[in-house]
Amino acid sequence: MTTITHLQARDIRFPTSRQLDGSDAMNEAPDYSATYVTLTTDADDGLQGHGLTFTIGRGNDVCVMAVEALASRIVGRDLETITADMGTFWRDLTSGDSQLRWLGPEKGVMHLASAAIVNAVWDLWAKREGKPVWKLLVDMTPEQLVRCLDFRFVTDALTPQEAIGLLKRREAGKAEREAHMRAEGYPGYTTSAGWLGYSEDKMRRLAREALAEGWTHFKQKVGGNLEEDRQRARILREEIGWERALMMDANQMWEVDEAVANMRDLAEFDPLWIEEPTSPDDILGHAEIRRRLAPIGVATGEHCHNRVMFKQLLQAGAIDYCQLDAARLGGLNEVIIVTLLAAKYDVPICPHGGGVGLCEYTQHISLFDYIAVSGSLDGRILEYVDHLHEHFVDPVRIRQGRYQVPEAPGYSITLHDDALERHQYPDGAAWQEGSAGN
Ligand SMILES: C[C@H](O)[C@@H](O)CC(=O)C(=O)O
Ligand SMILES: [Mg+2]
């Protein structure tokens, strides 16, 4: 048995707001931040698991406290007992303490905290098995995988039996799809030229560089001044041409009618999708926008709290692209349910990558989706942002706009010790007065 002996939660922040990396109309100056969890075990080989949840600065104070509040639900437990029945573990962590559950339920800061812990358990498990997380998942039988999930509140849309059926229909061909990914990688798109705080010159330069690197899909931020949105779309189209795809992301800035009117205006730039056009909680609003804007697609999910909201977005026919977030949902267990729900409703998943560590996580999710769940790349494209990867022990690798398959054991989320030291908030060197850069 391997016992989890200690949980540490660290406040790690990167001063990305200094260059306005990651900026959008709603989040003008984010500091990409991580509540970073280390699970220590009593294993002779010093086995540790890591997980993080993403915030954009000051909220990290609260998130670290939320993780600490949950620590007693995992410290002292054996890894083997947890992994033998992950579904029960997940429910206990997210709902076992009704006084903490009251803060959600299954949403907001407690759910972000749960994600960091849950993902650290998956990292621990995959490292113990000597496999990257995607491979741990695709090697499970449908029954084993479904045992990891908690179907509470979604059985009207997806039962465990149906989930097993969805996984069984893709068992044939798994080896070929795995080989295909190893040979070609998973297709991605870049947001790196599109941050709202970048000057037009910088945007143009970054778009050119991205083109030279082989990217074929680009995302720009919108939702500020409409004339400026138009001007930036014009620049991007001048640089990338019309045969490549352009996506737009409003980060929740608009009312429903405003979203429709503004996107009709921006339609001349041929956007593939409008992302987060309005409040992330407005399921019927998204459905209405989708109905009125077709053929422009509607994408959302980075602020979609849990499987129940995704269930409703799918049931209401409100989205064309499901942008689940690896650390806003309650970690990988819930991500797997949403991936299965999306497959059932035939909506492609295009996970959210804007943040620190999210690309490291989502490569595992999209590989799992392709190899074991949907068996398809149609409409699927994985977000890439070009920030902070150098701080990870096993960072994403991109070639010609495609994610290369991660092979190291774990969930690719372990940060280098010196990165942790330097970016510890508020004492790390990156935060001391006069310090520049990330
Ligand atoms: C604040 C984040 O950078 C956000 O803009 C990311 C995002 O919306 C995306 O990557 O999409
Ligand atoms: Mg977005």
Task: Give 159-216 pLDDT, tens digit per residue.
Answer: 999 999 999 999 999 999 999 999 999 999 999 999 999 999 999 999 999 999 999 9
The ligand 1 atom nearest the CA atom of 56: 1
Nearest residue CA, atom 6 of ligand 1?
Answer: 354
Mean pLDDT over each residue of the chain, to the nearest integer: 97
- The percentage of residues in the chain with a pLDDT greater than 70, rounded to a whole number, is 99
Pocket test for ligand 1, best of 23, 189, 302 (most atoms within 8 A of CB): 302
- Residue 302 Cβ inside 6 Å of ligand 1? The answer reads yes
- Residue 351 Cβ inside 6 Å of ligand 1? The answer reads no
pLDDT for residue 438 is more than 80: no
Nearest residue CA, atom 3 of ligand 1?
Answer: 22
* CA-angle at 339, arms to 13 and 305, nearest 5°: 50
* CA-angle at 170, arms to 404 and 85, nearest 5°: 85
CA–CA gap between residue 357 and residue 52 (Å, rounded): 8
Domains and CATH numbers, the chain: 4-130 (3.30.390.10), 168-418 (3.20.20.120)
Q: Nearest CA to 384 among 362, 413, 409? A: 362
* Structure tokens belonging to residue 391: 């701080």
H helical segments located in 35-155? 59-70, 79-84, 86-95, 98-101, 108-129, 133-138, 142-146
- Residue 21 Cβ inside 6 Å of ligand 1? The answer reads no
pLDDT for residue 72 is more than 80: yes
pLDDT category at 80 given cuts 50, 70, 90 is very high
Using a cut of 0.90, tell me whether the model's pTM lies above it: yes
Answer whether 355's CB lies under 8 Å from 32's CB: yes
What does R_g of the chain's alpha carbons equal in angstroms?
Answer: 21
Answer whether 188's CB lies under 8 Å from 126's CB: no
CA–CA gap between residue 2 and residue 41 (Å, rounded): 6
The ligand 1 atom nearest the CA atom of 22: 3
pLDDT for residue 22 is more than 70: yes
Q: What is the mean pLDDT of residues 370-391?
A: 98
- Contacts by 283-289, CB closer than 8 A, 24 or more apart: 283/309, 283/312, 283/313, 283/316, 283/318, 284/316, 284/318, 285/256, 286/313, 286/316, 286/318, 286/319, 287/316, 287/317, 287/318, 288/256, 289/256, 289/259, 289/260, 289/263
Ligand 2 center from residue 276 Cα (angstroms): 7
Q: Nearest CA to 96 among 152, 37, 14, 164? A: 152
pLDDT for residue 367 is more than 90: yes
- Residue 30 Cβ inside 6 Å of ligand 1? The answer reads yes
CA–CA gap between residue 48 and residue 167 (Å, rounded): 30
Q: What is the mean pLDDT of residues 415-430?
A: 98
Partnered with residue 402 across adjacent β-strands are 187, 399
Answer whether 18's CB lies under 8 Å from 77's CB: no
pLDDT at position 435: 61
- Residue 191 Cβ inside 6 Å of ligand 1? The answer reads yes
Contacts of 329 (CB under 8 A, 6+ apart): 111, 115, 304, 305, 306, 307, 335, 338
Ligand 1 center from residue 355 Cα (angstroms): 7
For residue range 300-343, what is the model confidence (pLDDT) as tens digits? 999 999 999 999 999 999 999 999 999 999 999 999 999 999 99
Ligand 2 center from residue 327 Cα (angstroms): 14
Q: Which residue has the tokens 């990688």?
A: 185
Answer whether 228's CB lies under 8 Å from 262's CB: no
- Residue 252 Cβ inside 6 Å of ligand 1? The answer reads no
pLDDT at position 276: 98
Q: Nearest CA to 221 among 252, 258, 193, 249? A: 249
Ligand 1 center from residue 289 Cα (angstroms): 21
CA–CA gap between residue 436 and residue 417 (Å, rounded): 20
Q: Nearest CA to 354 among 314, 393, 387? A: 387
pLDDT for residue 143 is more than 80: yes
For residue range 238-264, what is the model confidence (pLDDT) as tens digits? 999 999 999 999 999 999 999 999 999
The ligand 1 atom nearest the CA atom of 221: 5
Answer whether 410's CB lies under 8 Å from 51's CB: no
- Residue 312 Cβ inside 6 Å of ligand 1? The answer reads no
CA–CA gap between residue 33 and residue 419 (Å, rounded): 12
Ligand 1 center from residue 228 Cα (angstroms): 19
- Residue 56 Cβ inside 6 Å of ligand 1? The answer reads yes
The neighbour count for residue 239, using CB atoms within 10 Å, is: 18
pLDDT at position 224: 94
Q: Which secondary structure element, helix H or strand E, spans residue 364, and what is its range? A: helix 358-368
Nearest residue CA, atom 11 of ligand 1?
Answer: 354
pLDDT for residue 286 is more than 90: yes
Catalytic residues: 221, 352
End-to-end Cα distance, the chain: 40
Q: Nearest CA to 203 among 226, 225, 229? A: 229
Q: Which residue has the tokens 């392709």?
A: 370
Pocket test for ligand 1, best of 251, 321, 383 (most atoms within 8 A of CB): 251
For residue range 264-273, what is the model confidence (pLDDT) as tens digits? 999 999 999 9
The ligand 1 atom nearest the CA atom of 30: 1
pLDDT for residue 30 is more than 90: yes
CA–CA gap between residue 61 and residue 331 (Å, rounded): 20
pLDDT category at 141 given cuts 50, 70, 90 is very high
Ligand 1 center from residue 359 Cα (angstroms): 12
- Residue 59 Cβ inside 6 Å of ligand 1? The answer reads no
Helix axes 226-240, 256-266, angle to 10 degrees: 40
pLDDT at position 434: 60
- Residue 251 Cβ inside 6 Å of ligand 1? The answer reads yes
Ligand 2 center from residue 251 Cα (angstroms): 6
In whole angstroms, what separates CA 316 from the centre of its chain? Answer: 23
